[in-house]
Chain A
């Protein structure tokens, strides 16, 4: 930045440093000022420049070059016509160049590459001096017109730059990464366009006041000289890349990329200095005006477009870049995207991702932050069940390998499915409802009743409620049966969950026969169901007292809340009809007791036969 400060004002500070650096060109003929500059460039830039000059001549057909050439000619004439000031200006620009050339090895050529972009900047200037040269004086109106012209040009340039950058980036990088590339290119293009517009404004407005300050003609001449010098410089520097040896070319490209990066740095870091009049004009033009040269590239030479296409790539990969973090992040992102894309291609991983999402929702629901707007009056959240489907499906068919027998015994309409409750964690209701949904899609959606201790347990109760559990009470049961649903009940209740593992598959007392009363009142048949496997899924090893949680105890199970992969078997028995009994029989305790016992025995015998048939707890 020191350079920027040093060469800020071409008329003041620039002049001070002139004698030392620009003495040789200063002594030369004014009319040949432009050429001097061109030659000086080679001298400083080294062997590359000579070839570069030739190359520039050959590259002239390019649009901007063509536009520049007359400007240069005019500049030459103007410089010849006016003395003193033009000479100074020419010298100033001439002096402005050496610093670039004398930068470190990487930077010099970098600048040399960048001037390629200069012509556009000079095209901005040329329209302004053009008419002025003829008139010999610059009126306010003309200035306005010129300014407007410059601004319009700047807009054009910005637009063209953006499109060119995007085109280049996209054209060079087809394929799956196109989207990311488009993003990159867009970002780059925006930056370049911003720089271009800024450039144009600086060029237009701050320059004009100075002209007012200075002698008009001198300023005009200076500008002309400036543009001419820059055009020449451009010609001198522009083409070095292609004609050189391949190795040099690569080096060139690399450096150009590096300059792109530094240029970005400049735009961000130099910003405050830009406020200084012409701060960037002498010192930074190559870097700052760089983007403008992107205008021509549409028709540009291969070297330039290649450089352009390289720029984003290098910019991304450049570790010493100005924004290494951001660029690294982008690179990492694209890599991650690739990996993720390939991974998602495999279906199992996709399922795993879905399952993870479902589990996340499950945790949120159990914590009490799940939300949900489509719950039914009982609290079931169908959308959560849907999202958990991958998990449930895995548990049902792969982890527990649930086998279902006699599911045809379940009659359509209201039915009370009475099952043995088992295991320290009440997965059985969930599995029962899943079995019914899968095996008997003709039935209405089943619900299961859970005892208060589970229903009001923090997290567990909330989660089960969202999955379809309903608190066990006569009102809820009656309502569910009224809706002609199969209703799963576990008459053993909580005592079945708290029995030690040694008492597995031994039925406890069947409550007070509430399900029988329910059946008698509603006429719904009782279907005994035996479930084997749930006891081994979460065997109760011990009880941790947890009254502070509002629970009688927290069960101690091998894997905590996770189940073991025991194989499940569910057998549905013959329905026990109650049609021949009047609803008043519900008040007959003897009748209720008899039916309760009958159901209990049916379940116990099915359990025994299932256990006899089972050869292995985990293999089935």
Chain B
């Protein structure tokens, strides 16, 4: 089942959610990888690329699972990247739930039926949750406490649970979950970049939690590495170093504005209730407590060594 075994020929890869941020980052790399023969894109829109074979699948439809199974059994692929995830909370929570949780369920079922050798699923370090009782560095085996206020994070935690159960049911498959630190870079758009791109960024007065950041190039590299890694399980994909949120804001070219906690909280909840919420309420947790993940396992097992320091990632945000 090892996709990297010699003599097998070139790799055929399937990708869901190829038009998302991760999909774009990965596809440009796969396009340049000479070992990749074809990229089967299972998505609602066709992305650019010479190797792309497009098969339209809408993961939120009830028949997505059979569509996926047909597509995957028809052309035997060596790896499936399930990248069809949102990059931030959307107002339509039920649609997000359909896409992320139910969509993943469909993908996992199809992957199990078609006996895929390798499945790669992105996640994020935010699933650990920003809590006061977090250790300085969170390892992969730390509990996923998530964020109760955020459906977005809760969905991600649920997806992780599904994938873990799937991995335990299919020990012969390589199932890799990449928990990305906030991906920062000129071409990505997620709550962290939106948060940092404001000219003045509100923070909680008296708190300056440590953040990590991952340059988008490093994120793409990690995704690409997962194609050949002889490993399974969860990996924290984080950039070099940590920074306090104020330092990150300054690096990104903005100014931190410390607000007293109760005032900030009330203001954010009000804005959210009114519907003008520009910042997710869940972000409050993440600018209150540190949530620093330990990238040691990705380095030793996956061979992923980040090229960028978090301050470079934040500075890249400024240049964009």
Binding site for B on A (CB under 8 A): 365-379, 452, 455-459, 461-462, 466, 470-471, 473, 475-476, 479, 548, 550
Q: Is the CB of B244 within 8 A of A375?
A: yes
Question: Chain B contacts of A470 at CB under 8 A?
Answer: 136
User: Is B289 close to A, CB under 8 A?
Assistant: yes
Q: With A and B bound together, what is the CA distance between A452 and B133 in angstroms?
A: 8
Q: With A and B bound together, what is the CA distance between A379 and B208 in angstroms?
A: 10
- In the assembled complex, the CB of A107 is this many whole angstroms from the nearest CB of chain B, namely 52
> Do A459 and B206 contact each other (CB < 8 Å), given the known contacts A371-B244, A371-B246, A550-B261?
yes
- In the assembled complex, the CB of B90 is this many whole angstroms from the nearest CB of chain A, namely 30
> Do A369 and B246 contact each other (CB < 8 Å), given the known contacts A375-B210, A548-B262?
yes
**Chain B 19-34 near chain A by CB (<8 Å), digits 1 or 0:** 0000000000000000
Question: Chain A contacts of B207 at CB under 8 A?
Answer: 368, 458, 461-462
- In the assembled complex, the CB of A454 is this many whole angstroms from the nearest CB of chain B, namely 12
Closest 3 CB pairs of A and B: A458-B206, A475-B135, A371-B247
Q: With A and B bound together, what is the CA distance between A377 and B290 in angstroms?
A: 10
> Do A379 and B205 contact each other (CB < 8 Å), given the known contacts A368-B258, A369-B256, A479-B137?
no
- In the assembled complex, the CB of B203 is this many whole angstroms from the nearest CB of chain A, namely 5
Q: With A and B bound together, what is the CA distance between A572 and B244 in angstroms?
A: 35
Question: Chain B contacts of A456 at CB under 8 A?
Answer: 132, 289
Question: Chain B contacts of A459 at CB under 8 A?
Answer: 205-206
User: Is B112 close to A, CB under 8 A?
Assistant: no
- In the assembled complex, the CB of A324 is this many whole angstroms from the nearest CB of chain B, namely 36
> Do A375 and B243 contact each other (CB < 8 Å), given the known contacts A367-B206, A452-B132, A458-B206?
yes
User: Is B97 close to A, CB under 8 A?
Assistant: no
- In the assembled complex, the CB of B297 is this many whole angstroms from the nearest CB of chain A, namely 14
Closest A residue to B259 by CB, please name it.
A368
Question: Chain B contacts of A378 at CB under 8 A?
Answer: 136
Q: Is the CB of B247 within 8 A of A373?
A: yes
CB within 8 A of A370: which of B247, B289, B309? B247
Closest A residue to B212 by CB, please name it.
A377
User: Is B204 close to A, CB under 8 A?
Assistant: yes
User: Is B89 close to A, CB under 8 A?
Assistant: no
Question: Chain A contacts of B249 at CB under 8 A?
Answer: 371
Q: With A and B bound together, what is the CA distance between A476 and B294 in angstroms?
A: 12
Q: Is the CB of A368 within 8 A of B136?
A: no
Question: Chain B contacts of A376 at CB under 8 A?
Answer: 242
Question: Chain A contacts of B256 at CB under 8 A?
Answer: 368-369, 371
CB within 8 A of A368: which of B132, B204, B242? B204
Closest B residue to A378 by CB, please name it.
B136
- In the assembled complex, the CB of B151 is this many whole angstroms from the nearest CB of chain A, namely 25
Q: With A and B bound together, what is the CA distance between A377 and B251 in angstroms?
A: 18
A-B contacts, CB under 8 A, total: 98
User: Is B241 close to A, CB under 8 A?
Assistant: yes
Q: With A and B bound together, what is the CA distance between A595 and B309 in angstroms?
A: 44
Q: With A and B bound together, what is the CA distance between A420 and B45 in angstroms?
A: 65
Q: Is the CB of B203 within 8 A of A369?
A: yes
User: Is B311 close to A, CB under 8 A?
Assistant: yes
Question: Chain A contacts of B137 at CB under 8 A?
Answer: 377, 475, 479
* CB<8 Å pairs between A and B, sample of 22: A365-B208, A366-B206, A368-B205, A368-B206, A369-B256, A369-B258, A370-B208, A370-B246, A371-B250, A373-B243, A375-B210, A375-B242, A377-B136, A379-B290, A452-B132, A452-B133, A458-B206, A461-B206, A462-B206, A466-B244, A473-B133, A550-B261
Q: Is the CB of A473 within 8 A of B243?
A: no
Closest B residue to A471 by CB, please name it.
B136
CB within 8 A of A372: which of B139, B247, B294? B247
Q: Which of B204, B207, B208, B242 gathers most chain A CB within 10 Å?
A: B208
Question: Chain A contacts of B244 at CB under 8 A?
Answer: 368, 370-372, 375, 379, 466
Question: Chain B contacts of A479 at CB under 8 A?
Answer: 135-137
Q: With A and B bound together, what is the CA distance between A372 and B209 in angstroms?
A: 12
Question: Chain B contacts of A473 at CB under 8 A?
Answer: 133, 135
- In the assembled complex, the CB of B137 is this many whole angstroms from the nearest CB of chain A, namely 5
Closest B residue to A371 by CB, please name it.
B247
Question: Chain B contacts of A462 at CB under 8 A?
Answer: 206-208
Q: With A and B bound together, what is the CA distance between A175 and B270 in angstroms?
A: 64
Q: With A and B bound together, what is the CA distance between A470 and B210 in angstroms?
A: 13
> Do A379 and B243 contact each other (CB < 8 Å), given the known contacts A370-B208, A462-B207?
no
Q: With A and B bound together, what is the CA distance between A367 and B309 in angstroms?
A: 25
Q: With A and B bound together, what is the CA distance between A50 and B215 in angstroms?
A: 83
> Do A367 and B136 contact each other (CB < 8 Å), given the known contacts A373-B251, A375-B210, A375-B244?
no
Q: Is the CB of A368 within 8 A of B203?
A: yes
Closest B residue to A475 by CB, please name it.
B135
Q: Is the CB of A368 within 8 A of B262?
A: no
User: Is B292 close to A, CB under 8 A?
Assistant: yes
Question: Chain B contacts of A377 at CB under 8 A?
Answer: 136-137, 210, 242, 292, 294
Question: Chain A contacts of B258 at CB under 8 A?
Answer: 367-369
Question: Chain A contacts of B262 at CB under 8 A?
Answer: 548
**Chain B 288-310 near chain A by CB (<8 Å), digits 1 or 0:** 01101010000000000000010
Q: Is the CB of A379 within 8 A of B210?
A: yes
Q: With A and B bound together, what is the CA distance between A369 and B290 in angstroms?
A: 15
Q: Is the CB of A379 within 8 A of B311?
A: no
Question: Chain B contacts of A374 at CB under 8 A?
Answer: 241
Q: With A and B bound together, what is the CA distance between A370 and B207 in angstroms?
A: 10
Question: Chain B contacts of A461 at CB under 8 A?
Answer: 206-207
Question: Chain B contacts of A365 at CB under 8 A?
Answer: 208
Q: Is the CB of B135 within 8 A of A471?
A: yes
Question: Chain A contacts of B241 at CB under 8 A?
Answer: 373-375
Q: With A and B bound together, what is the CA distance between A365 and B207 in angstroms?
A: 9
Q: Which of B132, B207, B242, B262 gathers most chain A CB within 10 Å?
A: B207
Q: Is the CB of B243 within 8 A of A476?
A: no
Question: Chain A contacts of B208 at CB under 8 A?
Answer: 365, 368-370, 462, 466
Closest A residue to B137 by CB, please name it.
A377
Q: Which of A368, A378, A466 gathers most chain B CB within 10 Å?
A: A368
Q: With A and B bound together, what is the CA distance between A367 and B204 in angstroms?
A: 9
Question: Chain A contacts of B135 at CB under 8 A?
Answer: 471, 473, 475-476, 479
Q: With A and B bound together, what is the CA distance between A365 and B244 in angstroms?
A: 10
Question: Chain B contacts of A476 at CB under 8 A?
Answer: 135-136
